[in-house]
Chain A
Amino acid sequence: QVQLQESGPGLVKPSETLSLTCDVSGGSISNYYWTWIRQPPGKGLEWIGYMFYSGSPTYNPSLESRVTISIDMSKNQVSLKLSSVTGADTAVYYCARVQAVAVDDYFDSWGQGTLVTVSS
């Protein structure tokens, strides 16, 4: 059973860069897409982007100018960087695995999420 664990600073100052990592255990990063999703407190879910273990990332156009997703195969880690943050970026950030089947792609394993607050 694959497990995902997000980690990173819980508080980031406005205009700085948010950096999170997701440790993947109990399974390999290979052969899957990995994604980041966020949820502002009390609100809905927003897809940030995804990346295949050996490919180029795809980002949500609403965040594309500020976001970078990368994978470190040697560490079994997926990373997220979001630059020039504002209060609107305050959210719980989740990493998840994308399960690709013939009929669909869906998020079948999630980390527990990590709250990042943007504040001075």
Chain B
Amino acid sequence: DIQMTQSPSSLSASVGDRVTITCRASQSISTFLNWYQQKPGKAPKVLIYGASSLQSGVPSRFSGSGSGTDFTLTISSLQPEDFATYFCQQSYTTPYTFGQGTNLEIK
């Protein structure tokens, strides 16, 4: 299985901050990398697919980059509704696997 490792596991930030979350794959996955946001008690919601494509309806403050083994999710200016848990997920090969999550908290 391809292991996905996110860092940091948790992060405290303030409204307006620029935040970057990193995801590393245990082998090259080209750009088969997706980012999801999950709020407590809710299903995950896709933000970014194909490493850098913004899902329809997602605010442009979210962006993704990377290829191969190293990827980043950036939120350019944190808004109150962005405090949540973020997961990366590879779809290069089955079994699809997720990172352990990054909990973004209000400072």
Residues of A within 8 A of B (CB): 44-47, 50, 58, 60-62, 94, 96, 99, 101, 103-108, 110-113
Contact = CB atoms under 8 A, between A and B. Distances in A.
Dominant SS among interface residues on chain B: loop
Interface of B: 1, 31-34, 36, 42-46, 49-51, 53, 55, 87, 89, 91, 94-101
B43 A104 contact: no
Contact of A104 (B49, B87, B99, B101): B49
28 contacts: A44-B98, A44-B99, A44-B100, A44-B101, A46-B98, A47-B98, A50-B94, A60-B94, A96-B43, A103-B31, A103-B32, A103-B49, A104-B32, A104-B34, A104-B49, A104-B50, A106-B49, A106-B50, A106-B55, A106-B89, A107-B46, A107-B89, A108-B46, A110-B44, A110-B45, A112-B42, A112-B43, A113-B43
Tell me the dominant secondary structure on chain A's binding face: strand
B34 A106 contact: yes
Nearest to B97: A47
Given A45-B44, A101-B50, A106 B91 contact: yes
